[in-house]
Amino acid sequence: MSNISESSILLSVQNLEVSYGPVQVLWGVTLSVRKGHVVSIIGSNGAGKSTTLNAILGVRKVGRGQIVFKQEDIVRQPPHERVKRHMTLVPEGRQLWPKMTVEDNLLMGAFPSTLRKDAVPNLSRVYDIFPRLKERRSQLAGTLSGGEQQMCAIGRGLMAEPELLMLDEPSLGLAPKIVDEIFEFVRNISREGVTILMVAQNVNYALRISQYAYLMETGKITLDGPSEKLLADDYVQEAYLGST
């Protein structure tokens, strides 16, 4: 990636180290995300994928390393400052407020006060992308189907007008047909110009919709490259795509 101009890099993470108490789980993680790309992080359970996204958003404390977003080192900024700069995370497990309506959940995504004035147009944009959420706007989020909950979680993320949208396992626990639908939404959001950094257990899908990918194993990036290259890689095929 050495001949890519600095300005086309939206996010650059350098030598990230994160520990839970005495246990170090990220070891010098370095990755970058080009503006307009979908980038995926793949890897098995416990590899450190969620920890990486949480550290980028700032909800997980970083021991060492640099996080440069839009040419600015944000590593010491609290999460709400990072959201204000237009990055957001749709967390693993969706984390909706089950007793609140779909619409109130969406509005919670516009929490930095600078975003509130645009909440109405942003809401209608989210409803354009997810018509099903519009139909169910007054329904309690806890009563939505799994796929609808995922749509609601992504929609809430979009309320923060992200330039960088991070998605942690958007397809987890969903039926194959719904997984298709969710990835189609991800593709459409990317086509609207939102840069996406995504963790996905569905490696096949992740590599098919992303342009670039990182393989993470026990807290380290062990392989990276254009997604089609990883898709064709013998080791990835064997260890993550179940071919022999």
Ligand X SMILES: Nc1ncnc2c1ncn2[C@@H]1O[C@H](COP(=O)(O)OP(=O)(O)OP(=O)(O)O)[C@@H](O)[C@H]1O
Binding site for ligand X (CB under 6 A): 20, 25, 43, 45-51, 92
Handedness of CA 185, 153, 81, 65 (dihedral sign): negative
Residue 162 partner contact from Mg ion, ligand X, none using kind-dependent CB cut-offs of 5 to 8 Å: none
Among 50, 54, 105, 122, binds Mg ion (CB under 5 A): 50
* Sheet bearing 38-42, strands edge to edge: 87-90, 164-168, 195-199, 38-42, 212-217, 220-226
For residue 45, the minimal CB distance to Mg ion (Å) is 8
Q: How far is the CB of 57 from Mg ion (least distance, A)?
A: 13
Q: Identify the DSSP state of 145.
A: -
φ, ψ (nearest 5 deg) of residue 185: -65, -40
CB of 30 to Mg ion, least distance (A): 19
**What are 167's two structure tokens?**
């998605």
Cβ pair 10, 164 in contact under 8 A: yes
| DSSP-assigned letter for residue 43 | -
Give dist(CA 227, CA 209) in Å, integer: 8
Q: Could you say which of Mg ion, ligand X, none residue 98 binds, taking C-beta under 5 to 8 angstroms by partner kind?
A: none
| Smallest gap from residue 25 Cβ to ligand X (A) | 4
52 binds Mg ion (CB under 5 A): no
Q: Centre a 10 Å sphere on the Cβ of residue 93 and count the other Cβ atoms it contains.
A: 12
Smaller CB separation from Mg ion, 74 or 167? 167
Nearest distance from C-beta of residue 52 to ligand X, angstroms: 7
**Phi/psi at 17 (nearest 5 deg)?**
-125, 125
Nearer to ligand X, 54 or 227 (CB): 54
Nearer to ligand X, 51 or 105 (CB): 51
Q: Which span (42-50, 130-138, 159-167, 208-216) binds Mg ion, by CB under 5 A?
A: 42-50
Residue 135 to residue 150: CA distance in whole angstroms: 15
Question: Which of ligand X, Mg ion, none has residue 97 at its interface (CB below 5 to 8 Å by kind)?
Answer: none
Q: Which is nearer to ligand X, 159 or 186 (CB)?
A: 186
